[in-house]
Structure 1
């Protein structure tokens, strides 16, 4: 027997038995809360009876046998060693007693009437038996004994004082109701001892655990086991069971933290089932509410009854400070509640929370669990809770609230407002989710139940899914409303205009022209003004090209933004404005910051859209592995079928990256994926045509590539978005023309692109310079390509830089300058590897001279700024005279700087200058 912290109780019982054996009968009442080891103590005591010189006679009370007259006494008689004649007489008395038991006619009388002669005769049998054998009479869970048996046991207890009998009864503290007379009757006897079993102490829990899983695990987790079990031996043992189950499942790996599993939950339910029904009912109410406030009103019982039940649950180790000690206990209790009671309790809890002024989130959670809204205030509460949830980033909760509000709302116009909110919320999880509501909203608009800003939301959703005809109808319907629009609608329309200009240019004609500053005056919120400014900045970049003052304004917008319900459009427009303006280095950290925020807010749609922008940024930085990673992430978070027309964004970045890295089979797989035809009426279609053309060019299909590039250029011209920063289609078309043997057409395209570029567009300028070089003679090509290298280096596009360097290697080879070719080839290969496209085979020198060995990157750190500038230009192939002209210094100064540079880097010639200098401080002309 392994009784922890029960030695004193066991010793007391043994002492009482010793007195009984000597003819001094005793009575013990062992009490304690549920599962504190009362039964184990009594059973262990009974097992020692023979060793202690007594004969055990046992019985157990049961709630289901409470109405069975003399049931417990019958157990004792049957367990007694009576001779046949005595047993026959005892059974007859029991049968007669059971037949003669009559219900009490008076509420004052504590129990049913039993014939006194029968009681006397039955007790006399046991008293006479004790003359032959000292008896240990044990009744476990006596609080569940039938009333007739309690009368007999009370009679017997009064007469054992001078008999060789020890009578031990156990009961739970919470189990007494109308039968308190038995406890009172026993305790008033001088020969009765009360033994109270308390929950285990911390040391007791540790001892219990150590006996089963060892001292090391006990010391590590005993505090947690004690805190969760409250010292209840059953609960503590169940936690050890969960621990052992984990060890078995993990192959013996020790858990990092406390394991609370199914065994603990089942033990909690076992404790509740052993108690009175009121305890279980209170536990269920507490599980519904999460705390004790309003518990009496919820259950419709008196406060005293609830207080008493909470006390017993606390003593039993289930509660601490009015709440379950662990969420697993609450979960187990809730799992036992049937659906009807569940709905009723939550509905009542919602009413109580609303009456007490609780938060709308608390009320809405109960309404959601009830699954129905009966109160007139229910729908508005759900809407308010949804708005709060969206602000806090709990999008799935917001969607759940709105779906219930939508289902329960009976006013159609109000229902459409809710539907619009639902579309916005579902969009943040998956843009495809709201598609089922679009037809309903369109029909509501035709009936006049959807107006204003909600109609703009509908139009944008329809455009995303490529339902352009429906979107056109919505926009025209808005135009017809004319001056009857409220300020919110005017705000949405003013913002929609530049957004359409940049994203869906063909649909701008379907939106009524705004009146400039007059309409802008209707925009009163800071958030709306930011949305408008960001959309205007994007439209400005795509129609007029980059301007520094616009870029500064965009960054100010981003500094004031957080990802809330309405700011994603602001962030997206601002990031794209920076990217298309040739500032990917400034856009990248902002995009990473907002991506982390979207992840924390658990907004998959926003994560995907930001990943798509990040992929576009990586492409323009020449980071092809990064572009592949971000584009795949975007398409994993939101499946390709849910992207609608916007699929062209991440898909084109992925195709460009894979093409650059030579992964043509993977590109072919993505090009086989169907895309909506409507995509080619959006900005996303331009990117897709460009990417598909680059793939065709890389796989030796220049005619197909030229067709895609020309179609891209035709659309950009028609939409008045023909700026080099969006898609440099002319240089790609020029490359296709060169492959097709049309050098004059290629030269015209490249020169036209050059005319459109300026100082603010170094990337497309450098690319155009490279293609222009391809149409000139060798000497011209050298100068043009070196300029292209400088431009692309300053633009930060490593992929295009590697291509320009590769072309420069080829030119030097053609001119027979193999030393220069070898030096540049090493840098070209290093850059190509850095941007993920591997080595550039065509840059390998024809004379077999390898590229100069690259010293450690830190070697360049010993150079002064002046020496570095000279070394960078020398490494790029410039002569001393050319370097002197570019830096406005004398040739002698150039020679002196180079001499000191050679000495510091421990090299002897220009060809040995490290390729890492190419990425040092930018060259200034």
Structure 2
């Protein structure tokens, strides 16, 4: 009742005239929820306290009324003895009803109260008009309530017949002012001024019903926020009293206002008078009138609903199919008006949500999209979403565009674009998305541009065989005269022939030979580590640049700059984030794990692979097999063969052995079989990996040293000559003399060589393996050298090297190697507790010559051998060792730290 003093005074005047014996009519008008009902109820209570008879009837607002419905309620409120003889509503005449009311008024004043007059049925309204026109003076007050604007601008107002009554009063009830809203909020809070009053007015427009509902709903929350001194204000809850009150106000405002409110809710910030009228299907005049009704009820301001919660209440009313049609109509209108593609696409997406889309359920586009404009709009909206790095919105737009697109080249292009985008979150689905394009390729119906894009996408997924077929088809189309953008351009820094002629058969086409550089970069001359990192620094991580970024990191990994690869993997994984882009996170995680494995950190590699696997779980597709290969290799390296076997039992995708990931899996399985004493099975795995690598043009020892792997298995089988041939063949390849494959080859050559030559070969192997940074392979070579020296009766030096190899293996977690070096020691933790010797912290104070001498001495060289290696006298070596012992706080050679660098020029 705030700000209702004037209206109440006029009602009291009307009541007083009735009490004085006059017949009066008062019409209380206001928008829905503004308090007409409350004023009438207060009047009837006041009159009843003054001894008046109350005849009350209220219509069911918003619903069609049966004939004589209001009259029936009024007759029922009359005393039984005063009801007309023919009191059945259909037979009681207006005169009989008026006479009965006058008879009652002779005993005491009568107040006939009818609320929601706009919904009153015509026969009942005729009886009320006759009562007001009665020539006999009687103390009768007709108190009528009416919601404004319900019948529209053309229909006559139901209160019009009462206008000529000499005691007629029209009382308008409006919304609360900001001050009145603040008073209402203060009263509800029960304390001082409420800071949220302005926010309350913005939400409700001063509609008393909405104010009360919102204050009642959020009283405890508002009091708590006020007590804490927080700003802001109450907010409506889903399905709470506020939304129920808003829905009630909307129902009472009439069908035109309801249709306009739905149009405004669908159009949102893009609404205008013309768009709202066309979306709602109303004439301009009716639209303007309905807008005034909504504004008077506090539901809208200008052409916008006041709050999203009001829009939610409005959109909860229509049936699903009607709401879908409304969104589709709004999209068509926005498109016709030249609205931005993203604006129109939002309505198209809402029109086709599964919850209320008939088009989605039938699989057929609606009539509004039949001309293809919707597909073009959605594709453009997807492009703009990608510019804003909103891949989820882009995927939604492209999926709907594909749904609306008829079968043909256009849908195939959309499949390819979807596969590119879905890879960010769901690599398995990205692989499935290529099913239809691959079927189109098999029929020979794919154009050059789509075939080339399909080839690139398949390469990014590692599907070599299918990529080859797509690129061959693209090459044939290009030769036939078709033109289009090369999707591989920009991904390769050069255009090298990836496979050297000596490496075996290359792929069937030049394009595939060049494209395999995406998977295993050949590290062309002139591109060093700095150039690669500069490219990574200057390349943002997007769906378009992901393949380029992955290729650059692979370049670092395969060039054995694994420490730098780790830095970039960690940085980019943090940028990708496992929640926002799990597919990218897993792809980077695979490289992260592979880099750790090549550094000789199997436990770290296992953790990185497990984290990447968890990010995609059952959505990883082929990349899950590649991560499983890392875990198998890591468990094998640490001697946890049961865990490795469990990973070997995992089901494999059908397409795995058509993909590059098969190479890593075959090699990991081969090393597991070799470690568990199944050399024949291991040899088969290594040879299969070699056959695939040669067929795909990926036969590079730097990446896949399958020949030395197979040679190791052959040595276990006693086939020394065949092993020697494979080792020699690898050395003749372009990358066969890189540090990693060369180190492995020298270890195997030492096993084939006479005893006197083994220490020299193994020493060279150690130097090569140190250059590539593989600590675990380094430990294996140290162990081999210790064994060779033991056989050569150099037990002291062999013991030092075995100790160094054991500690290095223990640091890597290689249990099997530790057990080989210390046969009686099975508890790795107990052995590790002995420590690797004194802390090398003092090593930082050694000069460069002292560092070299200390490293070689710890390595097991005698003073004479060190002097020959460094080209200095034995006396100089002895002087260096004296200073080294003093700086490190040790007294003998065996206490030298085990992790000193021994970079000998």
TM-score by length of 2: 0.75
For the residue of structure 2 that corresponds to 1:262, the secondary structure is coil
Tell me how far 1:578 sits from its aligned partner: 2.6
1:620 and 2:598 matched: yes
Aligned twin of 1:172: 147
For the residue of structure 2 that corresponds to 1:657, the secondary structure is helix
Distance in 2 separating the partners of 1:872 and 1:471 = 50
Aligned twin of 1:102: none
1:145 and 2:124 matched: no
414-423 or 880-889: which moved more? 880-889
Aligned twin of 2:812: 832
Select the residue among 422, 447, 457 that pairs with 1:451. 447
Deviations 1:745-780 (A, max 9, x none): 777766876787989944444455555666679998
Change (3 A) 1:279 1:899: farther
Unaligned runs of 5+ in 2: 223-232, 353-364, 826-830
Change (3 A) 1:32 1:858: farther
Aligned twin of 2:702: 725
Select the residue among 251, 259, 265 that pairs with 1:273. 251
Aligned twin of 1:78: 76
Tell me how far 1:464 sits from its aligned partner: 8.8
Distance in 2 separating the partners of 1:905 and 1:27 = 110
Distance in 2 separating the partners of 1:78 and 1:22 = 23
Tell me how far 1:693 sits from its aligned partner: 0.7
Aligned twin of 2:228: none
Aligned twin of 2:554: 576
Aligned runs of 1:871-890 on 2, under 5 Å?
none
710-719 or 11-20: which moved more? 11-20
Root mean square deviation of aligned Cα: 5.6
389-398 or 450-459: which moved more? 389-398
697-706 or 361-370: which moved more? 361-370
1:346 and 2:327 matched: yes
Tell me how far 1:281 sits from its aligned partner: 0.6
1:302 and 2:300 matched: no
1:431 and 2:435 matched: no
Tell me how far 1:865 sits from its aligned partner: 7.8
For the residue of structure 1 that corresponds to 2:677, the secondary structure is coil
For the residue of structure 1 that corresponds to 2:87, the secondary structure is helix
Deviations 1:130-151 (A, max 9, x none): 25xxx56544333333345456
Distance in 1 separating the partners of 2:580 and 2:99 = 76
Aligned twin of 1:685: 662
For the residue of structure 1 that corresponds to 2:703, the secondary structure is coil
Tell me how far 1:691 sits from its aligned partner: 0.7
Tell me how far 1:566 sits from its aligned partner: 4.3
Aligned runs of 1:152-551 on 2, under 5 Å?
168-175=143-150, 177=152, 178=155, 180=157, 182=159, 185=163, 189=167, 195-196=173-174, 198=176, 203=182, 228=203, 260-263=237-240, 265-290=243-268, 291-293=270-272, 294-314=275-295, 316-319=297-300, 322-368=303-349, 369=351, 371-372=365-366, 373-375=369-371, 377-395=373-391, 397-398=393-394, 401-402=397-398, 405=401, 412=408, 417=413, 421=417, 424=420, 429=426, 430-438=429-437, 440-442=439-441, 445=444, 449-458=445-454, 478=474, 480-481=476-477, 483-488=479-484, 509-511=507-509, 513=510, 541=522, 547=525, 549=527, 551=529
258-267 or 236-245: which moved more? 236-245
Tell me how far 1:45 sits from its aligned partner: 6.8
Change (3 A) 1:320 1:551: farther
Select the residue among 622, 627, 636 that pairs with 1:659. 636
462-471 or 698-707: which moved more? 462-471
Distance in 2 separating the partners of 1:812 and 1:51 = 118
Deviations 1:797-850 (A, max 9, x none): 3444554566677789982569846963684266225xx979944455979896
Select the residue among 669, 672, 675 that pairs with 2:649. 672
Distance in 2 separating the partners of 1:840 and 1:16 = 105
For the residue of structure 2 that corresponds to 1:91, the secondary structure is coil
Contact 2:739–2:772 at 8 Å: present in 1 too? yes
Deviations 1:383-411 (A, max 9, x none): 43444445555556555555555565569
Contact 1:158–1:189 at 8 Å: present in 2 too? no
Aligned twin of 2:676: 699
Change (3 A) 1:431 1:191: closer
Aligned twin of 2:57: 59
Contact 2:553–2:568 at 8 Å: present in 1 too? yes
For the residue of structure 1 that corresponds to 2:700, the secondary structure is coil
Contact 1:769–1:787 at 8 Å: present in 2 too? yes
Contact 1:751–1:772 at 8 Å: present in 2 too? no
For the residue of structure 1 that corresponds to 2:56, the secondary structure is strand
Aligned twin of 2:229: none
Q: How many residues align?
A: 859
Change (3 A) 1:610 1:556: same
Contact 1:453–1:492 at 8 Å: present in 2 too? no
Distance in 2 separating the partners of 1:659 and 1:153 = 96
Aligned twin of 1:524: none
Deviations 1:524-583 (A, max 9, x none): xxxxxxx99986586662xxx674526555445444434555434433333323322222
Contact 2:766–2:782 at 8 Å: present in 1 too? yes
Distance in 1 separating the partners of 2:35 and 2:306 = 20
Deviations 1:225-277 (A, max 9, x none): 77655565665676689879999xxxxxxxx9967323355554333223211
Contact 1:832–1:838 at 8 Å: present in 2 too? no
Contact 2:415–2:433 at 8 Å: present in 1 too? no
Deviations 1:780-808 (A, max 9, x none): 87777676666555534344455456667
Tell me how far 1:278 sits from its aligned partner: 1.1
Deviations 1:296-349 (A, max 9, x none): 122232334334434443554544664445545434433433355345433432
Aligned runs of 1:814-825 on 2, under 5 Å?
815-816=795-796, 820=800, 824=804
Deviations 1:123-177 (A, max 9, x none): 424532425xxx5654433333334545665676799999777765444344465
For the residue of structure 1 that corresponds to 2:108, the secondary structure is helix
Change (3 A) 1:822 1:341: same
Distance in 1 separating the partners of 2:453 and 2:833 = 61
Select the residue among 627, 634, 640 that pairs with 1:650. 627
Tell me how far 1:614 sits from its aligned partner: 3.3
Aligned runs of 1:900-911 on 2, under 5 Å?
none
Structure with bigger helix share is 1
Contact 1:875–1:913 at 8 Å: present in 2 too? yes
